[in-house]
A and B are shown apart, each in its own frame.
Chain A
């Protein structure tokens, strides 16, 4: 039993009993184990949010409200939105992949504050429990945006419980950001200069800045709604002397930057994937790095584009519209650089790359429709319609979830030491892509034609689009379930991956898979830039290609 061997990797333990084993996970301060805890819990919330989405989509198959009452429908899409935004999209990539990879990529043994990291996970779970209890005991009907004065004075659903959940989860997000910033500043291995950092690190650094600067404002806004609800202090309700628009200002001061909390880490993942599967140095490294920072900063100045049709001053609207155009520039810079990286690369269409290419296409559609919405005159026509719903699903599902899945597949061999079934991987990536477009493309059309969001009864002329969308959602759902199956199977039957199955650059690929508990036996010394693929790697690959070798 008690061999004195040191655990070989972070997943193996010396625990003798089941309780000890459980304790060794729940009380761990190892960033890699915490990443796994996050992986499991975040995926749980994703499935739950997906369940709510399915019920919404099933209700919408017919123009009548036959499955749910209007009130139930409100609670259902709110549940979907709250869970997906606060408990999946915001934490997903930083908390799972960031936690696992930030120390590995910069050559550190752990994050700067390992205990704080564990606390973040508990806060996340604590917030999740609040949200779940709120859902089980009746749910909320305010929408994920919690607009006042409905949320503060009129709604009689579980507003306070849900808001507390989001509030607590916010602290988890702040602490993760804090941890990353300190780690990236202080714990880089010798030789790992700022401009040798992988772009995933730059992206997470920019995200962390947003997390610590914006999240407190959401916390305060939610707290003020609760105060108004409980003690009738007049802050947002005009009947009490407040201003409902103040809530929208505070909420979007957080929530617009929050959409960049979702997309920036995703862009970081894509930079890694594109470079690794083109076997080429990334094009325009500095531009991609600085565009992350530019997005983080400019993202704070555009929140009023969510308020064009509120009673916001038209002059404010004008300025917000203009700055919204500016923020699209750094996003476009990234897309151009990824595309330029592909040029003359040796591209292999492995599963992660399929997701990365899917990301680029879908993000372009999502981003460009964002520009439509940023133009006041167009937005007045389509605001609060399915056009907006389609826009943000293209960026959040087509962007963030594509990158999340691509990243999970890319680093799966590193996390678990096993390869998954490549054929199933490719199939499900295609299923996700097709299902996704079928679900959300019709929503652009019906939104433009006037289908409002958040209604469960609608004119018959829109039915065809809703039926298409629900059919697409079933395919999409399938595309999310297949990976759960083959990834789980790979743990038992997968081929052993070895340290570097993709022949990629980066410190994380220089150590065993799964990584040893303390990551690096000796502190690595970095002597080259990130993505240092040989100049002629692509040419060599194509020369040595023959029928039957890997794509």
Chain B
């Protein structure tokens, strides 16, 4: 019956350390971008998102026990990311196609 493997307390602390490090990185990246090296917005946001995704992955894998969970639980977790993807893709599809076709009606 027991689907759960074991994650040691040591690993938890290591992950915690990693998360703190990444938080420092997020804050650091903000100051570097603001004070030292102004990046185009898309790059800056991209970097921030990348760090955020890494944090999420660490939390989900270790703190939420996904690494040692049953296949079924992993499937459910993965499906939530598929759904996130659906949300982003369709929403961004709208933003992408907002100006199409250029207005030609009586209003313009």
Residues of A within 8 A of B (CB): 181, 185, 212-213, 217, 245-246, 249, 253, 300-301, 304, 311-316, 319
Contacts and interface: CB of A to CB of B under 8 A. Distances in A.
Nearest to B79: A213
Q: Which of A181, A213, A246, A300 has the most CB of B within 10 A?
A: A213
Contact of B90 (A181, A212, A301): A301
A213 B83 CA distance: 7
A249 B94 contact: yes
Interface residues of B, number: 18
B97 interface: yes
B14 interface: no
A313 B100 contact: yes
A312 B79 contact: no
B90 A304 contact: yes
B72 to A, nearest CB: 7
Interface in B78-108: 79-80, 83, 86-87, 90-91, 93-101
Contacts of B86: 300-301
B87 A311 contact: no
Given A213-B80, A300-B83, A313 B94 contact: yes
B103 to A, nearest CB: 10
B72 A185 contact: yes
A253 B98 contact: no
Contacts of B98: 311-313
A69 to B, nearest CB: 35
Contacts of A301: 86, 90
A315 B79 contact: no
Nearest to A213: B83
Interface string B65-84: 00000001000100110010
A312 B91 CA distance: 10
Contacts of A316: 90, 93-94, 97
B23 to A, nearest CB: 19
B100 to A, nearest CB: 6
B100 A315 contact: yes
Nearest to A315: B97
A319 B90 CA distance: 10
Contacts of B94: 245, 249, 304, 312-313, 316
Nearest to A178: B76
Contacts of B101: 314
Interface of B: 72, 76, 79-80, 83, 86-87, 90-91, 93-101
A106 to B, nearest CB: 17
Contacts of A212: 80
A245 to B, nearest CB: 8
A14 to B, nearest CB: 32
Given A313-B94, A313-B99, A313-B100, 4 more contacts: A213-B79, A253-B91, A301-B90, A313-B96
17 contacts: A185-B72, A213-B80, A249-B91, A253-B87, A253-B91, A300-B86, A301-B90, A304-B94, A311-B98, A312-B94, A312-B98, A313-B93, A313-B100, A316-B90, A316-B93, A316-B94, A316-B97
B101 to A, nearest CB: 8
A312 B72 CA distance: 37
Contacts of A304: 90, 94
A217 B98 CA distance: 23
A286 to B, nearest CB: 22
A314 B87 contact: no
Nearest to A214: B83
The 8 closest A-B pairs by CB, nearest first: A313-B97, A316-B94, A315-B97, A249-B91, A213-B83, A313-B98, A313-B94, A253-B87
Contacts of B87: 217, 253
Contacts of B91: 246, 249, 253
A246 B97 CA distance: 14
Contacts of B93: 313, 315-316, 319
A246 B83 CA distance: 17
Contacts of A181: 76
Q: Which of B76, B86, B94, B100 has the most CB of A within 10 A?
A: B94
Contacts of B79: 213
Contacts of A246: 91
A316 B87 CA distance: 13
A304 B90 CA distance: 9
